[in-house]
Structure 1
Amino acid sequence: MSSIGSSNVGFQLLKKSGWKEGTGLGAQEQGRLEPVETRVKNNKRGLGSKEPKPKPVVNDDVETAPKRHKQDVPSTKRAKLAAKRIRKMQEEEKRAQEKEFEIAFFREFWPENV
């Protein structure tokens, strides 16, 4: 690793706060002497992961894994999308009922305004 240059904004801020070059950042100057190394993460796994996710093993043995028809096993993606649509419809219905209640309430107490 290399140390940060004196033109770096972080370096300048540390100097203003009383830090001396070549010393650690801790109370007794026991902290890191070099900046933390960064790297670009291009996969969708967690920050600590180093290897790409292994691909699932496909078992082509007919005896142990009988063929399934597409109609027999619903797609999880389709099921999730359907559940999302149902939730949205239920939310819209709930909002409509609340609006109807609000309108009925105002009509009962302030009929001239509605």
Structure 2
Amino acid sequence: MASVHKIIVIVGFISLFHSAFSAAQHRSYLRITSQEFTALPLDIIIQAVVSLFAVIWGVLNIAGKLREIPAANELNNIKWETQRNLTSFYVFNHRGRALAYDFVPTPSKEDLEKLE
């Protein structure tokens, strides 16, 4: 059954290429005859859309069923407390403490020298 889908994809790509070539030919024809380009003919548009859907349908059927990535199995054995315990990222001296209602700024080096 997969060979039928592969044939559909190949025929779809050939048809898509043919519609692109036909569109280029149509533009060349319009330039040669000094006509203004307004839109592509309906048969080229229909061929391109049908070819695109054929390629999409064939590729989706060739790909098969999707499987779950088993990365979560390794995480199931790790305890919650140690899962993201990265002590190198602990920061205790940051500007968020200034938002506390009982914040008292630490004296700077210059303030300490003035007290002496």
TM-score, with normalisation over the residues of structure 2?
Answer: 0.19
Highest Rg: 1 or 2? 2
TM-score, with normalisation over the residues of structure 1?
Answer: 0.19
